[in-house]
Amino acid sequence: MSVPEVVMLATGVVGGAAALLVVTSRNVVHSALYLVVALLAVAGVFLVLGAEFVAWAQVLVYVGAVVVLLLFGLMLTRAPIGPTGQGNELGKAMPLAVALAVFAGLVALIVTSYGGEVIALEHVPPAALGEVLYVAWALPFMTLGFLLTLALIGAVVIARREEGEGPLPEPDPDEPEAAEASPPDSSSWPQRQPEPTPDEREVSA
Amino acid sequence: MAAVYPLIFAALLFSVGVYGLLSRRHAVLVLMSIELMLAAVTVNLVTFWAIAGDALLTGQVFALFVMAIGAAEIGVGLAIIMLIYRNRASVNIDDADLMKY
Amino acid sequence: MATSVFALEPLWLALLLQALAALLLFLIGAVVVGYLEHKVLAHMQDRLGPMEAIWHGIGQLPADGLKFLQKEDIIPTAADRWVFALAPAVAVVPGVVVIAVLPFGPGLWLTDLDAGIFFALAASGVTVLGTLMAGWSSANKFSLMGGLRGAAQLISYELPLVLAAAAIVIQAGTLSLPGIVEAQHGFTLFGVPMIYGIPHIIGLGLFFVAALAELSRPPFDMPIADSELIAGHMTEYTGMRYAFFMLSEYAGMVILSALATVLFLGGWYPWPGVGLPEGAAGMVLGFVITFAKILVLSAIMVWLRATFPRMREDQLQRLSWSVLIPLGLLNIVLVATAKVWF
Amino acid sequence: MAAPSLPGSGLLKGLGLTFKTMLSPATTAQYPHVKPELPPRTRGVIALMEENCTVCMLCAKECPDWCIYIDSSKETVPVEGGRTRTRNVLDRFAIDFALCMYCGICVEVCPFDALFWSPEFEYAEYDIRELTHEKERLREWMDTVPPPPPLEEGAVPPAEIEAGIAAARKEAEEAVAKAKAAAEGGGEPEAEGPQIDEELFARLVAEGTPERAARAKAKAAFVKAQKRREREQGGDQ
Q: A66-118 pLDDT, tens per residue? A: 888 888 878 777 655 555 554 455 556 787 888 888 888 888 888 888 877 77
| pLDDT tens per residue across span A135-159 | 888 898 888 888 888 888 888 888 7
Q: Which residues of D touch C48 (CB under 8 A)?
A: 26, 28, 30
Classified as helix, coil or strand, C189 is strand
Does residue A60 belong to the interface with chain B, where contact is any CB pair within 8 Å?
Answer: no
Nearest chain C residue to D33, by CA? C52
Which residue in A has a C-alpha nearest to residue B88's C-alpha?
A: A194
The yes or no reply on domain A1-82 and CATH 1.20.120.1200 is: yes
CA A118 to chain centre: 32
Strands D45-48 and C192-193, sheet pairing: unpaired
Q: How far apart are CA C222 and CA C257, in angstroms?
A: 21
Separation between Cα atoms, residue C178 and residue C104, nearest integer Å: 9
Domain count, chain B: 1
pTM, 2 dp: 0.73
On the question of pLDDT at D189 being above 70, the answer is no
Q: How far apart are CA A79 and CA D229, in angstroms?
A: 88
Binary contact (A194, B90; C-beta < 8 A): yes
Residue D148, pLDDT above cutoff 60: yes
How far is it, in rounded angstroms, from Cα D32 to Cα B32?
61
Question: Is A197 exposed, middle or buried (CB count within 10 Å of its CB: 0-12, 13-18, 19+)?
Answer: middle
Is A122 an interface residue toward B (CB < 8 Å)?
yes
Q: How confident is the model at residue B92 (pLDDT cuts 50, 70, 90)?
A: confident
pLDDT for D184 beyond 60: yes
| B7, B22, B28, best to mutate vs chain A, most A CBs in 10 Å | B28
The predicted pLDDT at position A184 comes to 43
Residues with Cβ within 8 Å of residue D34, at least 6 apart in sequence:
none
- In this structure, what DSSP letter does residue B2 have? B
Residue B49 near chain A (CB below 8 Å):
yes
Give dist(CA C250, CA C154) in Å, integer. Answer: 17
Question: Chain centroid to CA D128: how far?
Answer: 32
Cβ pair C84, C138 in contact under 8 A: yes
For C179, residues 6+ apart whose C-beta sits below 8 A from its C-beta are C1, C112, C116, C172
| Residues 6 or more apart whose Cβ sits within 8 Å of residue D208 | none
Q: Do C118 and A53 touch (CB under 8 A)?
A: yes
pLDDT at position B50, please? 83
ipTM over 0.85: no
Among all residues of chain C, which has the CA nearest to that of D19?
Answer: C44
Predicted local distance difference test score (pLDDT) of residue A82: 53
User: What is the least distance, in Å, from the CA of D24 to any CA of chain C?
Assistant: 8
Give a three-class secondary structure readout of C258-287.
HHHHHHHCCCCCCCCCCCCCCHHHHHHHHH
Q: Are D46 and D40 in contact (CB under 8 A)?
A: no
Contact A58, B67 (CB under 8 A): yes
Chains in touch with D (3+ beta-carbon pairs under 8 Å) read C
Determine the Cα–Cα distance for residues C95 and C177; give it in Å rounded to an integer: 16
- pLDDT per residue as tens digits for the range A170-197: 444 444 444 444 444 444 444 444 444 4
CA distances from B69 to B39, B41, C80, C326, D109 (A): 11, 12, 33, 22, 85
Residue D30 vs residues C169, C254, D36: alpha-carbon distances, Å: 51, 31, 9
- Spans of all domains in chain A: 1-82, 125-161
CB C306 within 8 A of CB C41: yes
Q: A54 to chain C: which residues are within 8 Å by CB?
A: none
Nearest CB partner across the interface for D21, out of C46, C51, C308: C46
Query: Would you place residue A198 in the very low, low, confident or very high pLDDT band (cuts 50, 70, 90)?
Result: very low
> Is residue D196 within 8 Å of D218, Cβ to Cβ?
yes
- The residues pairing with D45 across neighbouring beta strands, listed in sequence order, are D118
With an 8 Å Cβ cutoff, is B5 touching chain A? yes
| Phi/psi at C71 (5° precision) | -75, 155
Whether D106 has a pLDDT exceeding 50, the answer reads yes
Q: Which residues of C touch A65 (CB under 8 A)?
A: 125, 155, 158
Contacts of D7 in chain C (CB under 8 A): none
Number of other residues whose CB lies within 10 A of the CB of residue C256: 27
**Interchain CB distance below 8 Å, C114 and A82:** no
Asked if B24's CB is within 8 angstroms of A88's CB, the reply is yes
**Which residues fall within 8 angstroms of residue A68, CB to CB, at 6 or more apart?**
C128, C129, C132, C151, C154, C155
Chains A and B: how many Cβ contacts under 8 Å?
273
Give the C-alpha separation, B12 to B40, whole Å: 8
- What's the rounded Cα separation, in Å, for the pair D142 and D45? 10
> A116-130: per-residue pLDDT in tens?
777 777 777 887 888
Q: Model confidence at B85, in pLDDT bands (50, 70, 90)?
A: confident
Chain D residues within 8 A of C310 when measuring between CB atoms = none
CB contact under 8 A, C44 and D14: no
Phi, psi of D135, rounded to the nearest 5 degrees: -65, -25
Q: Is A26 on the interface with C (CB under 8 A)?
A: no
> Among D41, D65, D42, which residue's Cα sits nearest to residue D132?
D65
Instruction: Choose the mutation target among A72, A77, A122 for the interface with C, i.e. most C CBs under 10 Å.
Output: A72
pLDDT of C111 reads: 76
The C-alpha atoms of residue C21 and residue C100 are separated, in whole angstroms, by 9
Among the partner residues D18, D24, D27, nearest to C306 by beta-carbon distance: D18
Query: What was the pLDDT predicted at A190?
Result: 43
Q: Is A56 on the interface with C (CB under 8 A)?
A: yes
Q: What is the pLDDT at residue A203? A: 44
Please check whether residue D9 touches C, CB under 8 A. no
Q: How far apart are CA C135 and CA C235, in angstroms?
A: 9
Q: Which of D15, D22, D30 sits opposite C43 (nearest CB)?
A: D22
Range of the domain at B62: 4-100
Contacts (Cβ under 8 Å, ≥6 apart) of A89: B23, B24, B25
Q: Do C122 and A30 touch (CB under 8 A)?
A: no
CB contact under 8 A, A29 and C152: no
Strand pairing partners for D57? none
C254: three-class secondary structure by DSSP:
helix
What's the CA gap between C223 and A32, in Å, rounded?
A: 21
Against chain B, the chains showing at least 3 CB pairs within 8 Å are: A
pLDDT tens by residue, chain C, 342 residues:
456 666 666 777 777 888 888 888 888 888 888 888 888 888 888 888 888 888 888 888 888 888 888 888 888 888 888 888 888 988 888 888 888 888 887 877 777 777 888 888 888 888 888 888 888 888 888 888 888 888 888 888 888 988 888 888 888 888 888 888 888 887 777 777 778 878 888 888 899 999 888 888 888 888 887 788 888 888 888 888 888 888 888 888 888 998 898 888 887 888 777 777 777 777 888 888 888 889 999 999 888 888 888 888 888 888 888 888 889 889 989 888 888 887
**Bridge partners, residue D132, by sequence:** D96
Cα C84 to the center of its chain, rounded Å: 24
- Distance in angstroms (rounded) separating the CA atoms of residues C250 and C64: 14
CATH number for the domain spanning B92: value is: 1.10.287.3510
Which residues on neighbouring strands pair with residue D85, listed in sequence order? D77
Q: Is the dihedral of CA B84, B87, B89, B93 positive or negative?
A: negative
Which residues in chain C are contacts of D11 at CB distance < 8 A?
307-308
Q: Nearest-CA residue of chain C relative to D10?
A: C308
Hey, what long-range contacts does A62-65 have (CB within 8 A, 24 or more apart)? Answer: A62/B35, A62/B39, A62/B67, A62/B70, A63/A36, A63/A39, A63/C122, A63/C125, A63/C126, A63/C129, A64/C122, A64/C125, A64/C126, A64/C128, A64/C158, A65/B71, A65/C125, A65/C155, A65/C158
Biggest CA–CA distance in chain B, Å, is: 54
Q: Do A81 and C136 touch (CB under 8 A)?
A: yes
